[in-house]
Amino acid sequence: MNRQITASTCCYCGVGCGVLIEHDGERILGVSGDPAHPANFGKLCSKGSTLHLTGDLSARALYPELRLGKGLARTRTDWDTALDHATSVFARTIAEHGPDSVAFYISGQLLTEDYYAFNKLARALVGTNNIDSNSRLCMSSAVVGYKRSLGADAPPCSYEDLESSDCVMIVGSNIAYAHPVLFRRLEEAKSRRPQMKVIVIDPRRTDTCDLADLHLAILPGTDVALFHGILHLLLWENRVDRDFIEAHTQGLTELKQLVHDYTPSMVAQLCGISIEQLQQCAEWVGTTPSFLSLWCMGLNQSTAGSAKNSALINLHLATGQIGRPGAGPFSLTGQPNAMGGRETGSLSNLLPGHREAANADHRAEVAAYWGVEQLPASTGLTAIELFEQVRSGKIKALWIACTNPAQSMPDQNAVRAALQNCPFVVLQEAFRTTETAAFADLLLPAASWGEKDGLVTNSERRISHVRQAIVAPGEARPDWAITVDFAQRLEKHLRPGQPSLFAFETPTQLFDEYKQMTRGRDLDLSGISHGLIDRIGPQQWPFPTNASAGTARLYGDGVFPTANGRAQFVAEPFRAAKEQRDAQFPLTLITGRLRDQWHGMSRTGTAAQLFGHVGEAVLSLHPQDLRQHDLQPGDLVSLKSRRGEVIVPVSSDDNVRPGQAFLPMHWGDRFLKGGVNSLTLPAFDPMSKQPELKHSGVRLEPVQLPWRLFALIEGDVQQHFETLRTLCEPFSYVSLSLAGRERPALLIRAASASAADPSLLREIDQCLGLHEGTVLAYDDPRRSIGKRVRIDNGRITAIRLAGETLAQHWLQNLWLEGRTDEELRRWLLAPLSTPPGHGATSIASNQTLCNCKNVSQSAVCAGIARGLDLLGLKEQLGCGTQCGSCVPEIKRLLVATARPVAVTS
Ligand SMILES: Nc1nc2c(c(=O)[nH]1)N[C@H]1C(S)=C(S)[C@@H](COP(=O)(O)OP(=O)(O)OC[C@H]3O[C@@H](n4cnc5c(=O)[nH]c(N)nc54)[C@H](O)[C@@H]3O)O[C@H]1N2
Ligand SMILES: Nc1nc2c(c(=O)[nH]1)N[C@H]1C(S)=C(S)[C@@H](COP(=O)(O)OP(=O)(O)OC[C@H]3O[C@@H](n4cnc5c(=O)[nH]c(N)nc54)[C@H](O)[C@@H]3O)O[C@H]1N2
Ligand code: SF4
Ligand SMILES: [Mo]
């Protein structure tokens, strides 16, 4: 076999790790960290290191598919027919209803060249600013924060600053899960310099707190009050940098008046922390030689997201902690190329090169460069507004690329109604399985990671090359090529006889045209090229023509890209989150990420191994709230908000505070009936227009769903997924997941108020292969109880329990261990399904803590019981020795099981 290695970049988070792809030109065989890449120096997290196990071909979109009417099925077509059809619908819609009747909704996961093509298409050719991206749900509050406080959308720091800082404040970021390789770098830095202080500000006690010297579990949404409270203390204790303030800032007088009222007692009470904690935090911030803050969605996804960002930056300006090693306000970027999106103008209010769509001079500059008469002056729609306009019928043709709004947008019932209502939905996707795919009139198969070529910018402004390793499967094409091909067809209608705006044949040509638009601007990339990155490695912008190296840190001279060169203090009062706890909805629902899943799971959800850590969507509640509702862990509840309902099992978790609940964001309607975002609200920040995905008012209602179903089927998981999900639609609770490693299986859990129709059960059995072959069966139709186990070559290959499912975990273990002993036969013939001698066993102990070395939680606990410490566990079990993502959790188990040791004097 012709094995080759291609150096590329991980397609998941904004850390932007370099990966070495091992492949044979057609298949990706393995991945490892690129030791030469300055973001990760060879490390990868549990997601990056399993990239080669994801992306099951049977889940991929391989051919264009078109349907010619709602309710019809899409059928395979060829690229010419597909794009000609799209062209004629777009041309007709624009002619009849004007350019603002169409819209583009794109993604922070596109490459820079893809973005550029989309921007030119929307703004220069179609003539609309209706081009927004999922970064609106992610980074737009940080964009506003940087721009109004510092003058430009530029994170000023480098990853090295994180390592050299004396005090790191992590706010609203679960970096241990969401940016694991950076967390690893921080861990190492702190172990080298234990005097380094780490403060974590998060309503939940996350794995990130493992590194914290101080954890402030503030009440959701109260960050602005906290930051003002810290500033209050800094000012009144004279721990500010007067010289810096004098020379490089403006606006402190007004802010000082505002924060006068944010007294320690008022702030402590409002935030739900102690005055001592607040004082400790302010003391560290005010006295440390270098102060760096890191933040992510806990600040941005808020109706006060812009205020939260600026209030945090205020602290850096007051202490002069910016532009120096180890210091600065450092926003973590979520998606791999959300930064590139911001640079190329991929939010409706922006234009390429950090320009503004509302600025007439900027529009004129861009129009002149593109050789068009003018750019549209009308305001473009932002994500939430855009889907509202789709629903109201104003947007009549919608082009979606590289995002799954029918999973990730808040208020899903409204979003699905919009998609249902839209006359023409185009979806450019790598996977045909997503929730949004169900609404697409035209599905265009996109090449995905490892199959396409272009540039991405990570959180520290570093541009890396995403290189193609293998050919795209089927007829999938790279995003830039799809967009350019469509644009070339559309310009024949909209600009007949004029020279093409889209004479691009390679991504390099797109980049070379784009980069000239950044010349002389804060982000100047004019010195960068694909070739340069290949020669000298990934570089941080600005990188002007003739530069020999990138720029590690901004604002070292105290000059900011504002009109008068001064940074701006922003004085905005604290405003509470939109939905406060009340009698009707007494809990605050927080949503966020898990360690091993990526967003809507189109990719990570194809690898059974990535379900080992967390296998299903479970609502975390404080033990006190469980007791109050008379619930046991594992019980199903109906979780209701003002917008929707989902049924989920509960778990007891004292990492959330009473009155709060946590649900992972990953489960859409495919994996969990209804999907998490049917609960969340569309309210958004007035400036950034970023929705408040982090806090919604919810309540728990008991449900009576006595009839249960559990099914497991080994083998081609994707083949069964859609069929079984559809068959299970009549049940109230439906949850799908994968399990196993070498021999993956699909798992289904469902519940219903009454027994399933026997004919439905027969269909499910047929799909599970339980209608023929060696099937052990027991039925008690009177009690609607049934058990079926299929055995092939002495191993369990399929299971179906109906009625009650007490034996599900026991059976799953038998399946995993490949056992079919006498116990199984005896259990099958017994009228109840309770497993022998077990009661209802829990799967929790089977949870895989260490994915790399496949070490379970129970093995780690047994090791701890034998007296092993972290080093011993690593040596004996191997856990935590590869990617290290599980180390915080192992440490937590060590602490939890620590026994008092007798001390002899
Ligand atoms: N494993 C994994 N990693 C990812 C992703 C993924 O899907 N999976 N997605 C990537 C993307 S696009 C993004 S945007 C990032 C997101 O990265 P993060 O923002 O770090 O992740 P989240 O879990 O969404 O939210 C972070 C924390 O905010 C806390 N929080 C909630 N409300 C508040 C509040 O009012 N104030 C404060 N201070 N904290 C609050 C939550 O409890 C949560 O722990 O992750 C990136 N990395
Ligand atoms: N409740 C709640 N909801 C949230 C959040 C939250 O914290 N809580 N976080 C929000 C945030 S920060 C974000 S960033 C969004 C993310 O939300 P989405 O953007 O919907 O997330 P993904 O599932 O990553 O969607 C990317 C899609 O692109 C497809 N894809 C992958 N590679 C390619 C490619 O090369 N080309 C094309 N064309 N397609 C490709 C994938 O299959 C996938 O379906 O979710 C938001 N929603
Ligand atoms: S931290 Fe993990 S997910 Fe993020 S870029 Fe690195 S390997 Fe990929
Ligand atoms: Mo994000």
Confidence class of residue 822 from pLDDT cuts 50, 70 and 90?
A: confident
The arithmetic mean of pLDDT across residues 482-493, rounded, is: 98
598 Cβ neighbours under 8 A, 6+ residues apart:
12, 47, 604, 666
Burial class (CB in 10 A: 0-12, 13-18, 19+), 57: exposed
Q: Evaluate: CB of 200 within 6 angstroms of ligand 3.
A: no
- In ligand 1, the atom with minimum distance to the C-alpha of 177 is 1
The arithmetic mean of pLDDT across residues 351-363, rounded, is: 98
The arithmetic mean of pLDDT across residues 122-148, rounded, is: 98
Distance 23 CA to ligand 1 centre (A): 33
Confidence class of residue 846 from pLDDT cuts 50, 70 and 90?
A: low
Q: CA Rg, the chain, in Å?
A: 27
Q: Are 11 and 430 in contact (CB under 8 A)?
A: no
Confidence class of residue 901 from pLDDT cuts 50, 70 and 90?
A: very low
Give the model confidence (pLDDT) of 610-655 as tens digits.
998 999 999 999 999 999 999 999 999 999 999 999 999 999 999 9
Assess whether pLDDT exceeds 90 at residue 520: yes
**Domain 847-896 in this protein, CATH class:** mainly alpha
Least confident interval from 568-577, 681-690, 731-740, 831-840: 831-840
The arithmetic mean of pLDDT across residues 407-425, rounded, is: 98
Q: Are 173 and 146 in contact (CB under 8 A)?
A: no
Average pLDDT, the chain: 95
pLDDT at 898: 61
Confidence class of residue 420 from pLDDT cuts 50, 70 and 90?
A: very high
Q: Evaluate: CB of 17 within 6 angstroms of ligand 3.
A: yes
Q: Residues near ligand 2 with C-beta < 6 Å? A: 107-109, 134, 137-138, 297, 301, 334-335, 401-404, 407-408, 428-431, 434, 446, 448, 479, 591-592, 598-600, 602-603, 665, 676-677, 680, 693
Least confident interval from 395-399, 534-538, 893-897: 893-897
Assess whether pLDDT exceeds 60 at residue 838: no
Confidence class of residue 215 from pLDDT cuts 50, 70 and 90?
A: very high
Q: Which backbone phi and psi does 639 adopt, to 5 degrees? A: -100, 120
Q: Are 286 and 234 in contact (CB under 8 A)?
A: yes
- In ligand 3, the atom with minimum distance to the C-alpha of 49 is 7
Burial class (CB in 10 A: 0-12, 13-18, 19+), 844: middle
The arithmetic mean of pLDDT across residues 36-43, rounded, is: 98
pLDDT at 825: 87
Distance 21 CA to ligand 3 centre (A): 14
User: Which has more confidence, 897 or 811?
Assistant: 811
Continuous H helices in 478-622: 479-494, 507-515, 530-536
Assess whether pLDDT exceeds 50 at residue 904: no
Q: Is 524 helix (H, G, I), strand (E, B) or coil?
A: coil
Q: Which backbone phi and psi does 785 adopt, to 5 degrees? A: -110, 135
Place of tokens 């203390």: 233
- In ligand 2, the atom with minimum distance to the C-alpha of 679 is 1
Distance 531 CA to ligand 3 centre (A): 24
pLDDT at 819: 87
Residue nearest to atom 4 of ligand 3 (CA): 13
State the fold for domain 65-138+338-540: Rossmann fold (3.40.50)
Distance CA 859, CA 886 (A): 13
pLDDT at 837: 61
What is the DSSP secondary structure assignment for residue 608, as one 8-state letter?
G
Distance 337 CA to ligand 4 centre (A): 10
E strand or H helix at 412, and its extent?
helix 412-421
Confidence class of residue 843 from pLDDT cuts 50, 70 and 90?
A: very low
Confidence class of residue 902 from pLDDT cuts 50, 70 and 90?
A: very low
Give the model confidence (pLDDT) of 765-795 as tens digits.
999 999 888 899 988 888 888 999 999 999 9
User: Which has more confidence, 539 or 817?
Assistant: 539
Residue nearest to atom 38 of ligand 1 (CA): 172
Assess whether pLDDT exceeds 90 at residue 55: no
Distance CA 628, CA 612 (A): 31
Distance 440 CA to ligand 1 centre (A): 29
State the fold for domain 587-702: Barwin-like endoglucanases (2.40.40)
Residue nearest to atom 6 of ligand 3 (CA): 17
Assess whether pLDDT exceeds 50 at residue 364: yes
Give the model confidence (pLDDT) of 252-270 as tens digits.
999 999 999 999 999 999 9
Assess whether pLDDT exceeds 70 at residue 376: yes
Distance 359 CA to ligand 1 centre (A): 33
pLDDT at 829: 82
State the fold for domain 140-331: Dimethylsulfoxide Reductase; domain 2 (3.40.228)
Distance 12 CA to ligand 3 centre (A): 6
What is the chain's length? 905
Yes or no: is domain 4-53 CATH 3.30.200.210?
yes
For residue 542, say if its preceding peptide bond is cis, omega within 30 degrees of 0: yes
The arithmetic mean of pLDDT across residues 290-298, rounded, is: 98
Residue nearest to atom 7 of ligand 3 (CA): 48
Question: Which protein residues have their CB within 5 A of the ion that is ligand 4?
Answer: 138, 334
Assess whether pLDDT exceeds 50 at residue 900: no
Structure tokens at 882: 């590869």
Q: Show the beta-strand stretches assigned E in 202-243.
A: 214-216
Q: Which backbone phi and psi does 874 adopt, to 5 degrees? A: -60, -45
The arithmetic mean of pLDDT across residues 297-303, rounded, is: 98
DSSP string, 660-714: EEEEES---TTTBTT-GGGSS---B-TTT--B-TT-EEEEEEE----EEEEEEEE
The answer to whether the Cα torsion of 548, 554, 558, 562 is positive or negative is positive
Domain boundaries, the chain: 4-53, 65-138+338-540, 140-331, 587-702, 707-843, 847-896
Confidence class of residue 820 from pLDDT cuts 50, 70 and 90?
A: confident
Residue nearest to atom 11 of ligand 1 (CA): 334
What's the CA dihedral at 196, 202, 203, 209 to 10 degrees?
-40
